[in-house]
Amino acid sequence: MSTLKYQSQAVAKPYFIFAMLLFAGQILFGLIMGLQYVVGDFLAGAIPFNVARMVHTNLLIVWLLFGFMGAAYYLVPEEAETELHSPKLAIALFWIFAAAGTLTILGYLLVPYSTLAHITGNDILPTMGREFLEQPTITKIGIVVVCLGFLFNLGMTILKGRKTVINLVLLTGLVGLAVFFLFAFYNPTNLALDKYFWWFVVHLWVEGVWELIMGAILAYVLIKITGVDREVIEKWLYVIIAMALITGILGTGHHFYWLMTPEYWQWVGSIFSALEPLPFFAMVLYAFNMVNRRRREHPNKAATLWALGTAVMAFLGAGVWGFLHTLAPVNFYTHGSQITAAHGHMAFYGAYAMIVMTIISYAMPKIRGIGEANCNRAQVWEMWGFWLMTVAMVFITLFLTGAGVLQVWLQRLPESGEALSFMATQDKLSIFYWMREVAGVFFLLGLLTYFASFFIKEKAEA
């Protein structure tokens, strides 16, 4: 454990490990759902689709939160040049969050959702049963408590230490994450209001404050692996997050097109969300620019690959695939189709799954006491894992896009009376769903290869 600059950075380790375990769970449930798309009655009694889906998306959210927290515990002390305010609190919160998360997932799997709602008192304060916000109210309260403790710990650390741009941007992002989550507790009877404010959590997270978190983590890793002057990187970071918020806040409008809202949202949403790819494009330029200008050859080549990869894949998934169907006249036909699913998959993988794996790749060798980087052989395995997962995700996205285009063509474009029904359309898409499932299996192989890299040691000289 001697390769860490500040010993308290080690509290990131359980966060990273648990995040990766949840990631594996997320992929397994993704494969179950992918199969249910084509073999409809697969496990239908034991794990109905809605349960599998809830587990798949909730695991994603929770593992990313664990990843972000781990990243923050790792990089804040080093940036602030002081030990973490309270490593004990960080570990205690880890166990609370891990236990609550596990119980929630078990609840989804073991009892019918309505039973879970009743035993957790959803009738007292109804917050459940909305996409991505399925967590029982007590779990939601738990998330708030964990976030507050986490922010307190980081805030105290930054207060007594050096206040760098990276630390402040990261902290702003994390505070925003906690603040906007409070809208998860607002569930009015009026579905129109419910949906409108639901986006205050969902959009303002992933297309708002999470981008600050991503930008800060990427900036930190780039400083470390390139040795480029901090001033240059911090200036870029400001430009990128400025673009992210300036386009992303009013970009929320692209979710308001088909709600009970005035039509001006179709203009506001179209214009600002058409600009949303810009910060991601800037991130690609910036990552490659910094790596080209590097002043040192960092031994951790895998971390460099992850950093460049996350910029490129976030641009493709969040930027290009988002833009494909963001304009209101296009979105009218693609809204809620497989195009949305295609965009969601690549955007989440590229922007958020990969940034967490970037910081894990950089930090884990140090936390484990190996040094600046894993041995060459382990890095080769890690990079195989990177390419298998990333290429598999590209194919998952392409197959879902194919399914989406055909779906729109058959079900949405024809007039009423001539259009194919939803279920008849789904039958026509099955070839795409099968290919997506095969790509999903390759993704799992990539994940297993990546996990294996943690256990690979250099071969002894013969």
Partner 1 sequence: MSESFTKGMARNIYYGGSIFFFLIFLALTFHTTKEMPQRDHRENITEAVERGKELWEENNCIGCHSLIGEGAYFAPELANVYQRRGGEAGFKMFFNGWMKAQPLNIPGRRQMPNFHLTDQEIDDLAEFLKWTSEMDANGWPPNIEG
Q: Which CB atom, from 159 or from 260, has the smaller least distance to partner 1?
A: 260
CB count within 10 Å of CB 258 equals 14
Q: Which CB atom, from 70 or from 136, has the smaller least distance to partner 1?
A: 136
Q: How far is CA 409 from CA 357, 397, 404, 425, in A?
A: 37, 18, 8, 10
Distance (Å, whole) CA 179 – CA 175? 6
Q: Shortest Cβ distance from residue 228 to partner 1 (Å)? A: 12
Interface residues for partner 1 in 263-292 (CB under 8 A)?
263-266, 268
Token pair 């079900």 is found at: 411
Closest CA to 36 of 48, 19, 27, 21: 48
Q: Shortest Cβ distance from residue 294 to partner 1 (Å)? A: 17
137 binds partner 1 (CB under 8 A): no
Say if residues 240 and 283 touch (Cβ distance below 8 Å): yes
Interface residues for partner 1 in 153-212 (CB under 8 A)?
165, 187, 189-193, 195-196
Stretch that binds partner 1, among 305-313, 365-373, 382-390, 419-427 (CB under 8 A): 419-427
Interface residues for partner 1 in 22-81 (CB under 8 A)?
33, 36-37, 39-41, 44, 48-51, 53-54
Say if residues 76 and 154 touch (Cβ distance below 8 Å): yes
- Take residue 324 and report the two structure tokens written for it: 């494909």
Burial class (CB in 10 A: 0-12, 13-18, 19+), 282: buried
Distance (Å, whole) CA 407 – CA 416? 15
Stretch that binds partner 1, among 140-148, 153-161, 259-267, 345-353 (CB under 8 A): 259-267
Residue 11 carries which side chain, given as an amino acid letter?
Answer: V
Stretch that binds partner 1, among 71-79, 130-138, 154-162, 434-442 (CB under 8 A): 130-138
- Signed CA dihedral, 392, 394, 395, 396: sign only: positive
Q: Which CB atom, from 99 or from 192, has the smaller least distance to partner 1?
A: 192
What DSSP state is assigned to residue 5? S
Residue 317 carries which side chain, given as an amino acid letter?
Answer: G
Q: Shortest Cβ distance from residue 418 to partner 1 (Å)? A: 8
Q: Shortest Cβ distance from residue 136 to partner 1 (Å)? A: 11
Interface residues for partner 1 in 212-231 (CB under 8 A)?
231
145's torsion region: left (phi>0), alpha (psi -120 to 50) or beta? alpha
Contacting residue, 413, 431, 441, 448, with partner 1 by CB under 8 A: 413
Distance (Å, whole) CA 153 – CA 179? 17
What DSSP state is assigned to residue 80? H
CB count within 10 Å of CB 88 equals 12
Stretch that binds partner 1, among 146-154, 217-225, 336-344, 382-390 (CB under 8 A): 336-344
119 binds partner 1 (CB under 8 A): no
Stretch that binds partner 1, among 98-106, 136-144, 151-159, 250-258 (CB under 8 A): 250-258
Contacting residue, 144, 324, 398, 420, with partner 1 by CB under 8 A: 420
Q: Shortest Cβ distance from residue 376 to partner 1 (Å)? A: 35
Q: Which CB atom, from 69 or from 184, has the smaller least distance to partner 1?
A: 184
124 binds partner 1 (CB under 8 A): no
- For the CA atoms of 136, 139, 143, 145, what is the dihedral angle to 10 degrees? 130
Burial class (CB in 10 A: 0-12, 13-18, 19+), 321: buried
Stretch that binds partner 1, among 10-18, 62-70, 129-137, 302-310 (CB under 8 A): 129-137
Interface residues for partner 1 in 340-399 (CB under 8 A)?
340-341
327 binds partner 1 (CB under 8 A): no
Q: Shortest Cβ distance from residue 16 to partner 1 (Å)? A: 29
Q: Which CB atom, from 292 or from 416, has the smaller least distance to partner 1?
A: 416
Interface residues for partner 1 in 74-113 (CB under 8 A)?
113
Q: Shortest Cβ distance from residue 332 to partner 1 (Å)? A: 6
Closest CA to 272 of 251, 294, 288, 298: 251
Q: What is the DSSP string of 119-139?
A: HTTTTTS---SSTT--S-HHH
10 binds partner 1 (CB under 8 A): no
Stretch that binds partner 1, among 60-68, 154-162, 303-311, 406-414 (CB under 8 A): 406-414
